[in-house]
Amino acid sequence: MTNLTLKQLRYFEALARHNHFGRAADACAISQPAISVQIRELEETLGTELFERGPRQVRLTNFGEEFALRVRDILRSVDELADLARSSRDRLVGRLRIGVIPTIAPYLLPTIIGNLSSMHDGLDIHVRETQTQKLIQELADGRLDAAIVALPVSEPSLTEIVLFAETFVLVRPGEDEGKPVPNREMLREMRLLLLEEGHCFRDQALSFCNMHSARPRELLDGSSLSTLVQMVSAGIGVTLIPEMAVPVETRSASVSIARFRSPQPSRTIGMIWRKTSPIAKQLLRISEIVRQSADTLRAQHNPTPLAHLLNLTATA
Amino acid sequence: MTNLTLKQLRYFEALARHNHFGRAADACAISQPAISVQIRELEETLGTELFERGPRQVRLTNFGEEFALRVRDILRSVDELADLARSSRDRLVGRLRIGVIPTIAPYLLPTIIGNLSSMHDGLDIHVRETQTQKLIQELADGRLDAAIVALPVSEPSLTEIVLFAETFVLVRPGEDEGKPVPNREMLREMRLLLLEEGHCFRDQALSFCNMHSARPRELLDGSSLSTLVQMVSAGIGVTLIPEMAVPVETRSASVSIARFRSPQPSRTIGMIWRKTSPIAKQLLRISEIVRQSADTLRAQHNPTPLAHLLNLTATA
DNA sequence: TACAGCGATAAGATGACATTATGACAAACC
DNA sequence: GGTTTGTCATAATGTCATCTTATCGCTGTA
């Protein structure tokens, strides 16, 4: 006894509709014996007759009627499967789980989520905000689809794509406005407030000061850039923040922002995902949207690249 | 590009559950390459990846997750199809459309329907009450599953099975009680009330009088036995009714019932259905229930066969 | 009685699908 | 660092399902 097959159900449905082997066979674009055999096998599999073969006509049995109702449901569902696949072949659909490091998330996410949602209305976006190492782990575990982190991560299993570079700026108490901008060596002598262990931005800042992971004299661990800026505002010390954070974090704090002279501290922000990800193509498209979002965002605060440069030299 | 197959969906479901080709293959009792190939073909058919193949694990894609939900629904429905067939293989299920001639229906149907309904609770019974020729036509057209008629019908496409024989009794006005029972010749001289053309019982009665289809002097057409009895009660004439109708039809009429001496008029009642009917076996069982119902019914009115005989000779 | 319509059956060709063997690749383990 | 292990993909091949064409048998009709 063979198993039920969709083919048999399709033939059955055609025969149920036409009540005629020949016409049903035509409808299925097969020969009459083919449908004849398949229907017989279907009936054998079920152990029940589905059709009553009369000399003048073929008719569904009572059971066949009920069977037909269910079969039509099933065939419709199956056809919908194919439709579903076709419609979501290129379009990004369903859940997009994206991770972002905390020193990027608050500044970039509102714009990104807005843009992505409006461009892909079938998409619901889950955001995970944590540090790079955890993001990479969750990416590998398949709990995330992509992450926005500072490059490089140098994981062979991950695709990295550069989004943009962002410079770091010095945040000093408000009364320091106009004072000379310290260089890296001078910075090392100041009370530098940094994020706690694990944040890549902490390492990047330390790296700029040539301090690497060695613990400096008077570092204070802060949990967020916002906290650090508030502490600076209170005169406790100075800190570095990424340029993108400036508009948000200095809005309600009496601090002074200074940009370093060359070499400017900076980092590269990029997006990563598993090389094996089946939505790699869509993720690439998303990365472009993210890049544009970031560009727009920065253009809002630094109206033109030229103005940006002027501003830089002025403060330096 | 091949079509979707249930096999592919089953393999897919197994793989979605196990996230492992080898174990999924075991679960399906096939080899690993078999499932590998089928999944690939499924993905090709859909034009989308369902799984993300990592070196350490296999994971559903977003689309695969949604696909899996639907596939599980479909597979469940398909399995229910087989269950449905198995459960209704022997049991009579669904609609039973049964036709009954009018000179039987009112007397037999209440009992039959009660018995059938209680014995097959999944059965809903549709009754059609009309004359034999129409019943046979509707049977042939597949609009009826079976019919209860007077035999023989001699249709080669139909199975006939005898249910019981019933005699005809003479109905005279109440004041004729005790008068000698007329014989067939005498009956021909009386004002005999009969059903209108088309009723087999009319022909059977005429036949008893050796009148066949020739129109006698003073026949009056009545539409039902009930009407005929009422007319007899009013003194308009006499009539014949089947024995089974006696309890019902003489309850509220002042008429006298007389049974003929041998040869007693009678007819054979049977059940018929298409020889090709797939529920032939069940119909045979139903015919037994009908026969029992009829026996019970007659036993209620003629408490014992012996009493019946005594009553017969007494009135004759 | 011959004919036409229709479904069932038979025989041969084709294709789908399984199996076994093997390859490719990454991870894990001396 | 090479080897082993685990895992999925691919290849070669055999088998079975299923299709097609040809034909039969039955039934109702001209």
- Which architecture does CATH list for A94-164+266-315? 3-Layer(aba) Sandwich (3.40)
Mean pLDDT of B258-268: 86
Mean pLDDT of A77-103: 82
Average the pLDDT over each of A181-195, A237-251, B240-254 and give the range with the smallest value. Answer: A181-195
CATH topology of domain A6-87: Arc Repressor Mutant, subunit A (1.10.10)
Judge: domain B94-164+268-315, CATH 3.40.190.10.
Answer: yes
Q: Residue A241's pLDDT is what?
A: 92
Nucleotides of C under 7 A from a protein CB: 5-11, 16-21, 25-28
Q: Residue B302's pLDDT is what?
A: 64
From residues 132-161 of B, list those within 7 angstroms of strand D by Cβ.
Answer: 157
Helix (H, G, I), strand (E, B) or coil at B117: helix
| C-alpha–C-alpha distance, residues A285 and B16, integer Å | 28
Mean pLDDT of B18-23: 89
A109-150 residue pLDDT tens: 988 988 888 887 778 888 999 999 889 888 877 788 899 999
Average the pLDDT over each of A73-77, B81-85, B283-287 and give the range with the smallest value. Answer: B81-85
Instruction: Kindly tell me if the per-residue pLDDT of A287 is higher than 70.
Output: yes
- pLDDT top residue among A273 and B202: A273
Instruction: Kindly tell me if the per-residue pLDDT of A183 is higher than 60.
Output: yes
Report percent pLDDT > 90 for chain A: 19
Residue in A3, A63, A142 closest to B93 by CB: A63
Count of C-beta atoms within a 10 Å radius of residue A159 = 18
| Closest A-chain CA to B274 | A54
Q: Residue A316's pLDDT is what?
A: 32
pLDDT band at A313; cut points 50, 70, 90 = very low
Rounded CA–C1' distance between B19 and C22, in angstroms: 24
Q: Is B86 on the interface with A (CB under 8 A)?
A: yes
Q: Is the fold of B6-87 the same as that of B94-164+268-315?
A: no
Helix (H, G, I), strand (E, B) or coil at A274: strand
Report percent pLDDT > 70 for chain A: 90
Mean pLDDT (chain B) is 82
Q: Residue B312's pLDDT is what?
A: 42
Mean pLDDT of B204-231: 70
Report percent pLDDT > 90 for chain B: 16
Mean pLDDT of B50-67: 84
Mean pLDDT of B162-186: 85
Q: Residue B90's pLDDT is what?
A: 67
The minimum CA-CA distance between B35 and chain A, rounded to whole Å, is 17
| C-alpha–C-alpha distance, residues B42 and B20, integer Å | 17
Mean pLDDT (chain A) is 83
Instruction: Kindly tell me if the per-residue pLDDT of B100 is higher than 80.
Output: yes
Q: Residue A212's pLDDT is what?
A: 59
Nearest Cα to A195, choosing from A249, A270, A153, A145?
A249
| C-alpha–C-alpha distance, residues B257 and B233, integer Å | 11
Count of C-beta atoms within a 10 Å radius of residue B62 = 20
Mean pLDDT of A59-64: 87
- B15's CB contacts (< 8 A; 6+ apart) are B21, B24, B35, B39, B51, B58
Mean pLDDT of A300-316: 48
Q: Residue B11's pLDDT is what?
A: 92
Mean pLDDT of A202-214: 72
Q: Is A260 on the interface with B (CB under 8 A)?
A: no
Q: What would the 3-class secondary structure string for A255-270 be? A: EEEEECCCCCCEEEEE
Mean pLDDT of A232-251: 88
Rounded CA–C1' distance between A124 and D6, in angstroms: 36
Mean pLDDT of B265-273: 92
Rounded CA–C1' distance between B14 and D6, in angstroms: 20
Question: What sections of A88-222 are H helices per DSSP?
Answer: 105-119, 132-141, 184-189, 200-208
Question: How far is the CA of A269 from the CAs of A133, A208, A277, A281, in angstroms?
Answer: 15, 16, 20, 20
Interface touch B274/A86, C-beta < 8 Å: no
Q: Residue B211's pLDDT is what?
A: 67
Mean pLDDT of A3-21: 90
Q: Residue A124's pLDDT is what?
A: 82
Q: Residue B81's pLDDT is what?
A: 86
Nearest residue (CA) to C1' of D25: A55
Burial call A84-117: b when 16+ CB within 10 Å, e when fewer: bbeebeeebbbebbbbbbbbbbbbbbebbeebbe
H or E stretch at B186 = helix B184-189
Residue in A62, A80, A88 closest to B48 by CB: A88
Q: For residue A179, what is the DSSP state?
A: S
The minimum CA-CA distance between B290 and chain A, rounded to whole Å, is 21
Instruction: Kindly tell me if the per-residue pLDDT of B217 is higher than 50.
Output: no
Q: Residue A142's pLDDT is what?
A: 78
Boundaries of every domain in chain B: 6-87, 94-164+268-315, 168-259
B282-293 residue pLDDT tens: 888 889 999 999
| CATH no. for A167-259 | 3.40.190.10
Q: Is A71 on the interface with B (CB under 8 A)?
A: yes
Nearest residue (CA) to C1' of D26: A55
Q: Residue A165's pLDDT is what?
A: 93
Rg (CA), chain A: 32
Q: How many CB pairs under 8 A join A and B?
A: 131
pLDDT band at B216; cut points 50, 70, 90 = low
| C-alpha–C-alpha distance, residues B20 and A286, integer Å | 30
Q: Residue A220's pLDDT is what?
A: 61
Q: Residue B234's pLDDT is what?
A: 86
| Closest B-chain CA to A60 | B142
Q: Find out whether B297 and B107 touch, Cβ atoms under 8 Å.
A: yes
Rounded CA–C1' distance between A316 and D14, in angstroms: 80
Judge: domain B168-259, CATH 1.20.1300.10.
Answer: no
| C-alpha–C-alpha distance, residues A51 and A40, integer Å | 10
The minimum CA-CA distance between A277 and chain B, rounded to whole Å, is 6
Rounded CA–C1' distance between B32 and D4, in angstroms: 21
